[in-house]
Amino acid sequence: MNAHTSKPDQAQGIPAEAAAALPGLMAAAAPIYGERVGDAEWRARVDCAALYRLIALYGWDDMIFTHISLRLPGPDHHFLINPYGFLFDEITASSLVKVDLDGNIVEPTPYFINPAGFTIHSAIHAAREDAVCVLHCHTDAGVAVSAQKRGLLPISQTAMACTADLAYHDYEGVALELDERERLVADLGHHSFMLLRNHGTLTVGDSAASAFMRMFYLERACRMQVLAQAGGELLECDNGMEQRVRGQTAPAFMKELGGALAWPGLLRKVARQSPGFNS
């Protein structure tokens, strides 16, 4: 049953019996956070470290380059970002660096960051209160599609979960100039997915889980497109179908299925395949 036909006893498009199981699924992930499970900043650190490890596990990392940032709970507008020089599969909850909106380090750490790498992220965090997490990748497929004039095409269900909420930003060189931030934010608008032309992919979310869920779909859609283009004439869906698929998948799909159902499983995946992230 899709979001258009949900009954009143369903939570965010999920059948009532599934919704009732969600708290238990999240509780089952509690041991991954350890003894500090009740500490909001520690949970954020574990989630952010898990994101870095997941990007590496899925093969979306670019050595020490690109970044993931996560806003910390509280009124101070502080954020977590990776220590520069670490591979993504080396990132831990305790090694993440806390910075302010200007990229200044706000608590003692033996590490340093790449301030230029926070340029894109800080602009989005400052402009969008809902952008708790900003995730940016330089994958082969993502860059390939970002370099195509028509961008991401509605040729798969996976793509159509993204296209109706997808923005584009033209390439302006390496993101070092602060005046680019205003243009990037204007291009992003209210969207949650972005293709940075000739550069890569970007997603935002109100949690680590939702930003990752969106990136999972965007990256897979780009890869599917590149594969399809090698196989012959493409079969594109029309705008009406794009809008229908968007209505069926967002926001209920991204937030509930992604955050409550998929995220605990993803944490378990990281714990099995890339242990130590939660240290």
- pLDDT tens digits for 100-110? 998 999 999 99
Q: What average pLDDT is seen over the chain?
A: 88
Contact partners, residue 5, CB within 8 Å, separation at least 6: none
- The answer as to whether 149 is a domain residue is yes
- The answer as to whether 27 is a domain residue is no
- pLDDT tens digits for 149-173? 999 999 999 999 999 899 999 999 8
- CB atoms closer than 10 angstroms to residue 272: 8
Count of the separate structural domains present in the chain = 1
- The answer as to whether 237 is a domain residue is yes
Residue 173 contacts residue 184 (beta carbons within 8 Å): no
pLDDT at 141: 98
- Residues 265 and 53: their CA atoms lie apart, in Å, by 14
Domain with 237 in it: what CATH number? 3.40.225.10
pLDDT at 256: 66
Interior CA angle at 104 toward 193 and 51, to 5°? 40
Whether omega for the bond prior to residue 275 falls within 30 degrees of 0, making it cis, is no
Domain that holds residue 89: 32-273
Helices (H) and strands (E) in the chain, counts: 11, 7
What is the model's pTM? Answer: 0.90
State phi, psi for 203 to the nearest 5 degrees. -135, 155
- CB atoms closer than 10 angstroms to residue 271: 17
Which two structure tokens, joined as six digits, stand for 78? 């502080």
- Amino acid identity at 265: G
- The answer as to whether 223 is a domain residue is yes
Which two structure tokens, joined as six digits, stand for 105? 């380090």
- The answer as to whether 4 is a domain residue is no
Strand 193-196 with 166-169, pairing = parallel
- CB atoms closer than 10 angstroms to residue 33: 18
- The answer as to whether 263 is a domain residue is yes
- The answer as to whether 166 is a domain residue is yes
Residue segments in the chain with a per-residue pLDDT below the cut of 70: 1-15, 17-19, 21-23, 25, 37, 251-256
- The answer as to whether 147 is a domain residue is yes
